[in-house]
Amino acid sequence: MTSPMISEQTKARFDREVAKYPADQKQSAVMACLTIVQQEQGFVSAQSEQLVADYLGMAPIAVHEVTTFYNMYNQQAVGKYKLNVCTNLPCQLRDGAKALKHLEHKLGIAMGETTADGLFTLQQSECLGACADSPVMLVNDVTMCSFMSNEKLDQLIDGLKSAEAK
Ligand code: FES
């Protein structure tokens, strides 16, 4: 039975994703369903994982494994701008960790934290597939930023802050 906590609108979106797969393989829609949850709520809570598990007939731990494997899924509320700096080995060799440190200093938060104004969440990420462009980062899971020198990082943060102030 579908959990009563799934709204009709959300259920309709889940149904559309599930319909893309054979009836006996609806678990294949798990990533799409988690994405829908995140779009609607900003993050995927343990309760939402349970709802998705119930809906798809999966073990909750299997859904949790998906949520925690892909770092584009937020497991808690994040700031308006989620900054994911790649610190995987190739980027480490080309200032990836330095870029993360610079952002920690500039934003006054540690990796994994969100600024008090709710604007920025700073995270590290695994390889973003652009090692030659290091330091690289992803903003809000979609906007790739390459060759992020300290100057470019400052421009990015200052630009976003001033856009918010308008
Ligand atoms: S290691 Fe950073 S993009 Fe590949």
> CB of 91 closer than 6 A to ligand 1?
yes
Give the ligand 1 atom nearest the CA of 130.
3
> CB of 136 closer than 6 A to ligand 1?
yes
Give the ligand 1 atom nearest the CA of 96.
2
Give the ligand 1 atom nearest the CA of 87.
2
- The predicted structure's pLDDT at residue 4: 44
- Superfamily grouping for domain 81-165: Glutaredoxin (3.40.30.10)
Q: Which residues have C-beta within 8 Å of that of residue 160, sequence separation ≥ 6?
A: 81, 119, 120
> CB of 131 closer than 6 A to ligand 1?
yes
Report CA-CA distances (Å) from 152 to 62, 141, 155.
40, 19, 5
Domain spans of the chain, in order of start: 8-69, 81-165
Task: Name the DSSP letter for residue 124.
Answer: E
Q: Please tell us whether the domain made up of 8-69 is placed in CATH 3.40.190.
A: no
Q: Which residues have C-beta within 8 Å of that of residue 125, sequence separation ≥ 6?
A: 71, 84, 85, 86, 87, 88, 137, 138
Q: Which helix (H) or strand (E) holds 121?
A: strand 120-125
> CB of 56 closer than 6 A to ligand 1?
no
Q: Which residues have C-beta within 8 Å of that of residue 9, sequence separation ≥ 6?
A: none
pLDDT in tens, the chain (166 residues): 444 467 899 999 999 999 999 999 999 999 999 999 999 999 999 999 999 999 999 999 999 999 999 989 999 999 999 999 999 999 999 999 999 999 999 999 999 999 999 999 999 999 999 999 999 999 999 999 999 999 999 999 999 999 998 8
Instruction: Please tell me the residue having the least CA distance from ligand 1 atom 3.
Output: 131
> CB of 137 closer than 6 A to ligand 1?
no
Give me the phi and psi of 123, to 5 degrees please. -135, 160
> CB of 97 closer than 6 A to ligand 1?
no
